[in-house]
């Protein structure tokens, strides 16, 4: 199972990514973790990352993608599955990650989209900021981050829908409930993924898995 996660801040992406990775026993490739690991180990990439961070700059896409490619090579050697969390954040990254996947024969099977209303996300992030004593996470800052997500990241959802690998989930509910439904859906999809080409699928939600894979919902075991 190869899954990439798309979600606004506060939707539970890290939590659900870790759950999926543990359930399917595949690596959880988190870009933030990769950056910190390379910096801690003092690798060539890590030294470049440190220089950008010390200057207060964003780490360039080519460096992040190089780290992701390295992690995907390791994931392939470990069995071929992964959960990618933290990338892509924009269309350029999405296309670059896809090309890496093609090269390694490791393209994503599912683009899991965690949906949540901004009002809910603002409340969650403000509560987390208060709990963690993060005074810099004000409502204004949070709303700005969400605006950037809608402008820059969310458009890639349509691209994954066109490829037929998008699965959208309501992430507003309790974390445990969301996690259970995701795992059930992915387990149902797992035996079909390698046999149903992307072009024969449609974007799906957790109530229409049978229809998405071209089955008749009235007589399919995976309908509903």
Q: Which residues of 39-70 are buried (b: 16+ CB within 10 A; e: fewer)?
A: beeeeebbebbbeeeeeeeebebebbbbbbbe
Determine, yes or no, domain membership for 71.
Answer: no
Determine, yes or no, domain membership for 37.
Answer: no
Distance CA 160, CA 97 (A): 12
φ and ψ of 117, to 5 deg: -70, 145
pLDDT in the model for residue 137: 80
pLDDT in the model for residue 53: 81
Q: Which domain holds residue 198?
A: 2-30+81-212
pLDDT in the model for residue 197: 66
Determine, yes or no, domain membership for 194.
Answer: yes
Tokens 């896809």, residue?
98
Q: Would you give per-residue pLDDT tens digits along the chain (224 residues)? A: 999 999 999 999 999 999 999 999 999 999 888 988 999 999 998 999 889 888 877 788 998 999 999 999 999 999 989 999 989 989 999 999 999 999 999 999 999 999 989 999 999 999 989 998 877 788 998 999 899 899 988 889 999 998 888 999 988 888 999 999 899 889 888 887 766 666 666 655 553 443 444 444 433 333 33
pLDDT in the model for residue 160: 92
Number of domains in the chain: 1
Determine, yes or no, domain membership for 219.
Answer: no
pLDDT in the model for residue 218: 38
pLDDT in the model for residue 163: 87
Angle between the 91-104 and 61-77 helix axes, to the nearest 10 degrees?
A: 30
* C-beta separation of 11 from 115 below 8 A: yes
Sheet holding 204-205, edge to edge: 28-30, 82-85, 2-6, 110-115, 166-170, 204-205
CATH number at residue 21: 3.40.50.300
φ and ψ of 80, to 5 deg: 105, 0
pLDDT in the model for residue 195: 66
Name the residue among 26, 204, 206 with its Cα closest to residue 214: 204
Determine, yes or no, domain membership for 159.
Answer: yes
* C-beta separation of 119 from 94 below 8 A: no
């Amino acid at each position: 199972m190869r899954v990439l996660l798309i979600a606004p801040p506060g939707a539970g992406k890290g939590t659900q990514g870790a759950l999926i990775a543990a359930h399917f026993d595949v690596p959880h490739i988190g870009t933030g973790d990769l950056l910190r690991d390379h910096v801690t180990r003092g690798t060539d990439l890590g030294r470049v990352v440190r220089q950008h961070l010390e200057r207060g700059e964003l780490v360039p896409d080519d460096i992040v993608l190089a780290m992701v490619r390295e992690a995907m090579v390791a994931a392939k050697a470990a069995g071929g599955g992964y959960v990618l969390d933290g990338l892509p954040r924009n269309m350029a990254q999405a296309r670059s990650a896809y090309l890496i996947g093609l090269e390694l024969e490791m393209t994503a099977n599912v683009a899991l989209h965690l949906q949540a209303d901004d009002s809910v996300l603002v409340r969650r992030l403000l509560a987390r900021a208060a709990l963690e004593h993060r005074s810099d996470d004000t409502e204004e800052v949070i709303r700005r981050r969400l605006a950037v997500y809608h402008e820059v990241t969310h458009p890639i959802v349509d691209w994954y829908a066109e490829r037929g690998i998008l699965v959208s989930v309501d992430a507003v509910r309790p974390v445990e409930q969301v996690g259970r439904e995701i795992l059930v859906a992915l387990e149902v999809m797992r035996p079909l993924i390698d046999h149903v080409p992307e072009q024969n699928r449609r974007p799906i939600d957790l109530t229409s898995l049978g229809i998405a894979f071209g089955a008749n919902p009235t007589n399919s075991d995976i309908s509903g």
